[in-house]
Structure 1
Amino acid sequence: MALPEAQPAEILRSWQKDDLYEKQLAGSLSKLIPSHAPKAGAISSLLYKSFTTLKDLQTLGEEYSGIVQVDETYHRLPTFSNRLFSILLSAFGENLTRKCISHVTKQVEQNASLKPEAQNAIIVVLKTLGNVVPQIESIHRALSYMYGGPLQVGKTVTGINYVHVRPAAPAYYAHLRLLGLVTLLHAIISCGQSFYQAKKQMDEMSDFPNEVDSSKSCVACLEEILHPCVLECGHLFCMQCCYGVLESCALCRTPFTKNTVVPLMNYKP
């Protein structure tokens, strides 16, 4: 006979207990190894799950709530690979995603073959994606409050769920559904703000001149060009910027050296 699916309240109670123990372990690790304090949270989660979930044991929170992890059939324990991938995704998924986005952003910034318009647009999209990533977990948690299922994205991705192994006390879940609705609305509003800021930046870039020739302002410092200079790529900037902090063209990202800068003595933009 199949065991009943765990209710959202029991899953939440289990997660809260495990989160408490993991934070206590992270605090101890931070005191023991101060140099690794920023990574203590992820390391403590990995250690905690390694000695429980990976050993085919309930976590302390799961034992407290009387629930057990199962696969999508609700009849078997999840495979070792699924449990391991779920743990790694929950512990390092967000940080790894942020690092990947940051790495791609740097590659785009250093890619001189891209047009400035495309380069700036890609950077804005990547920045917006980085702002939206934390809200994905909030949206997933809100749906779990409302409709049940695991709170961690890693468990949902690997098809892990929970069942009761002892009779659950009758409870009303209206307040939990309300919490899920509020959490969902907050996450959607946060995502909307990120998309609005991205659209605003895209509109500002579309209104900004791509060539300095048609303007009296230097793109690098946004001041009036008093002593114009031309770079090897053909773009114009003021002398103060060319012989100052600039090491590559602010428009096309082409690198240049100071001895290749050509002052235009009789040119007025």
Structure 2
Amino acid sequence: MALPTAQPAEVLRAWQKDDLYEKQLAESLSKLMSARYASKAIPLSSVIYRSLTTLKDLQTLGEEYSGIVQVDECYNKLPSYYSRLFSIILSTFGENITRRLIHSIEKRVEQNPSLTVEAQNVLLVSLKTLSSILPQIQNIHRGLAYMGGGPLQIGKTLTGIDYVHVRPAAAAYYAHLRLLGIVTLLHAIVSCGQSLYRAKTHMDQMKEVPNEVDSNKSCVACLEEIVQPCVLPCGHIFCMQCSYGALENCALCRSPFTKNSVVPLMNYFPE
């Protein structure tokens, strides 16, 4: 006979306990590590904690406290070793891996000569918007878990891992947890909507920027009057503040350049 599915409150209680123990372990590790690597203590503590429990087919301290056990999608046996391993990797490094992947795609888009400037702008804004809403995707998943049950980590959901009770759970009405799920879901959706609106506004503003440098005295990068003009290797002209500032790619043709390749134009004034 299949064991009953774990209630959302029990899953949340187990996650809170495990998060507390991981933070305590991270605090101890940070004291043993140099200041340069102290930021690595949190993911390292998570990997150590999960490797000594979940990866060895053991309950975590939080799961033991709540009386729940991880099972596969059939709800009749423990998850496979590789499912548990991938869930640990995704839960610990999933967001960081996704951000690195998005950043790599951005670099490829910027260096792709076959794309038009308009297409590059749309793709780059879309990728940056996706990167900004990654935390809200996690919150949407968590809100749905509060309302309908299931693991709180996306990594466990993607690998088909769920929870069951191994001892009778006390009967309780979890209306407050459903309310928390609704509030979390609404907040995440509103935040995503704000990010999408800012992206749309940014793309509308870029449509007003000319594709080629015209004969006026405006810098295409900052839309201000060109002061101390400089020419990039691609031949486009910008003001010195933009050329030696945060600008890393030509705002017109997206060609990358280095600061030592910028040539100041002496006694040159745009007509």
Say whether the fold is shared (TM-score over 0.5).
Answer: yes
Deviation at 1:113, TM superposition (A): 4.5
Aligned pair 1:161/2:196, yes or no? no
| Residues 230, 263 of structure 1: 8 Å contact kept | no
Tell me how far apart the structure 2 counterparts of residues 105 and 113 of structure 1 sit (CA, whole Å): 15
| Residues 233, 262 of structure 2: 8 Å contact kept | no
| Residues 229, 264 of structure 2: 8 Å contact kept | no
Specify whether residues 231 and 91 from structure 1 end up closer, same or farther in structure 2 by C-alpha distance, changes over 3 A only.
closer
Number of positions where the alignment pairs a residue of Structure 1 with one of Structure 2: 266
Partner of 2:55: 54
Partner of 2:75: 74
Tell me how far apart the structure 2 counterparts of residues 150 and 108 of structure 1 sit (CA, whole Å): 36
Tell me how far apart the structure 2 counterparts of residues 149 and 247 of structure 1 sit (CA, whole Å): 45
Tell me how far apart the structure 2 counterparts of residues 196 and 8 of structure 1 sit (CA, whole Å): 33
Specify whether residues 261 and 144 from structure 1 end up closer, same or farther in structure 2 by C-alpha distance, changes over 3 A only.
same
| Residues 230, 264 of structure 2: 8 Å contact kept | no
Equivalent positions of 1:194-233 (< 5 A) are 194-213=195-214, 215-225=216-226
Specify whether residues 221 and 59 from structure 1 end up closer, same or farther in structure 2 by C-alpha distance, changes over 3 A only.
closer
Partner of 1:11: 11
Specify whether residues 221 and 263 from structure 1 end up closer, same or farther in structure 2 by C-alpha distance, changes over 3 A only.
farther
Deviation at 1:95, TM superposition (A): 1.1
Aligned partner letter, 1:3:
L
SS of the equivalent of 1:121 reads helix
Specify whether residues 221 and 52 from structure 1 end up closer, same or farther in structure 2 by C-alpha distance, changes over 3 A only.
closer
Specify whether residues 90 and 215 from structure 1 end up closer, same or farther in structure 2 by C-alpha distance, changes over 3 A only.
same
Partner of 1:32: 32
Aligned pair 1:174/2:175, yes or no? yes
Gaps of 5+ in 2: none
Aligned pair 1:139/2:140, yes or no? yes
SS of the equivalent of 1:98 reads helix
**Which of 100-109 and 253-262 deviates more?**
253-262
* Rg comparison, structure with higher value: 1
Aligned partner letter, 1:68:
V
| Residues 140, 188 of structure 2: 8 Å contact kept | yes
Q: Percent identity over the alignment?
A: 67
| Residues 71, 77 of structure 2: 8 Å contact kept | yes
Tell me how far apart the structure 2 counterparts of residues 242 and 146 of structure 1 sit (CA, whole Å): 50
Aligned partner letter, 1:13:
R
Aligned partner letter, 1:159:
G
TM-score (normalizing by structure 1): 0.88
Deviation at 1:58, TM superposition (A): 0.6
TM-score (normalizing by structure 2): 0.87
| Residues 137, 153 of structure 1: 8 Å contact kept | yes
Deviation at 1:212, TM superposition (A): 1.8
Residues 7-63 of structure 1 show CA distances to partners (whole Å, capped at 9, x for unaligned) of 111111111111100010011111111332212111111110111111111111111
Specify whether residues 216 and 64 from structure 1 end up closer, same or farther in structure 2 by C-alpha distance, changes over 3 A only.
same
